[in-house]
Structure 1
């Protein structure tokens, strides 16, 4: 899947208590000091070292369901994106957007991405750009919306641009209604107190404040453990991570061991060939580059069929 697009367990999980939801209105679980949770950290480190498959999104029938993590999807708090934009169905803006070439380009990207991740058993996909202002948040949000239109699917969209979180603004959602991303990744906020369900098939993790030590947070073993726990509890088909620019900071580079693939968003008005080449060099041997998405392309350069 190396195209350019134009667009604006086999064994039961052992019991470890219910770490997914808060008890009696109070919830603190410092994972680093909990024996059962430390096992999760150790397992996450093995994943990082060996690039082993991530936790499965579903469990075989013979699995001991009493020992498996609860499916929290239906228990997530709901918050709909703003009705004056086109991200989800149900507004005139969404109906109008579906008729555009941009929407069709996202649907094409969605279908190719779903085919690729199913073929390889992948889950974690990053949407990144070489530099700032290329539109990767716009791309991640619209790709997630397109994925969410697939019936009976589950997509989780995470705002991992901790330097400049913008997903809440793009979706017109209130990030103050959830726990803090930093605390969630540290293991001190429950999944159901952080992840919001935007629709029956789409859940989002928002960011509200910038983090100067974003790269260190990305490399914290607790982050890997929290995300593994989240995948086991929500069982998504795809987790999309809206990442910061590859060439501006080392945040995305630090997170590469957690990823199965990267979609790179370029800007037709500012991205140069040398930027793409440098991104390919950074990703080489680390994680597959699944494609380059051309944003703000000249209308004359878009081939019509």
Structure 2
């Protein structure tokens, strides 16, 4: 991955960073869908969506806010550093990547507002597909909506990376926040009026057990009741490598799946869909690193 401040880090023809969403044959609408694929195992970016999936909206208990818990405006302010380890489209607002994230942002907001959804996971079938990159840049795009509130949580407890992405010091271990051993005010920071981050500085080998603990569910309910975000994005580990995402499904309203045009197979996507069926809606499959020749040119 090129340095954040390289002049061509997010050039429109740089498919190594992010080609663009919306390659031919790929619908970009954010709706619960069932993916229908042919018998080819190799995924080449020509993916169509058909047959609407039944919506399985999660039933989540409501938590009554506690006056002792910090509100949005009470969170400590922190400033991202200049040396994050992944490109941020905010620095290249006229790029194809920035326009793609803005389109995804708008469609996601429309769907979550329509259904009353808040909790959205960003995951991938296997490692290296770019889900942390996508989660970071989608959160930044969402935060540009005036008056909005977006929370981005580093829930990849086995390989936390959001602190490095923002070139910031994580206040502590996410497991301490989820387990009730640290408070929202200690663990979470606000980088703008519209974006808050839950960062992590500790690797957890028992990640799946932490994610399905009832204390985790209660902590996240308390966080949402206190901060009142429109959308909470959870940067999650790959679905097919650990059971972390499966353990966390009861807390989710929907899932965005990041597919890598250079490594993701159709069988990977079929298996992810099977794991999600009846558990949480698959809101869309986002194609990352598509072949440059497959991208439409609207110039």
Quick check: TM above 0.5?
yes
Q: CA deviation at 1:83?
A: 3.3
Please say if 1:174 is aligned against 2:181: no
Select 1:5's aligned residue among 17, 21, 26.
21
Aligned to 2:253: 260
Question: TM-score, normalised to structure 1's length?
Answer: 0.76
Distance 1:71 1:118 in 2: 25
Q: Could you tell which deviates more after superposition, 67-76 or 239-248?
A: 67-76
For 1:16-54, what per-residue CA distance to the aligned partner results, in whole angstroms no more than 9, with x for missing partners?
A: xxxxxxxxxxxxxxxxxxxxxxxxxxxxxxxxxx93246
CA distance in 1, matches of 2:217, 2:208: 13
Partner of 1:94: 90
Partner of 2:272: 279
Q: 1:233 to 1:271 in 2, by over 3 A?
A: same
Query: Contact between 2:237 and 2:244, CA under 8 Å: does it hold in 1?
Result: yes
Q: Do residues 133 (structure 1) and 128 (structure 2) align?
A: yes
Match of 2:106 among 111, 114, 129: 111
Of residues 209, 218, 243, the one that matches 1:216 is: 209
**Superposition RMSD on alpha carbons, in Å?**
2.3
Distance in 1 (CA, whole Å) between partners of 2:22 and 2:68 is: 40
TM-score (norm 2): 0.77
Match of 1:147 in 2: 142
Unmatched 5+ stretches in structure 2: 1-19, 24-56
SS in 2 for 1:105: helix
Q: Find the aligned partners of 1:244 and 1:222 in 2 and give their Cα distance.
A: 20
> Do 1:71 and 1:235's aligned partners in 2 also have CA atoms closer than 8 Å?
no
Moved over 2 A (4+): 4-7, 53-56, 67-71, 83-88
| Number of the residue aligned with 2:285 | 292
Give the count of matched residue pairs. 245
Residue matched to 1:123? 118
Where do 5+ consecutive residues of structure 1 fail to align? Answer: 8-49, 60-64
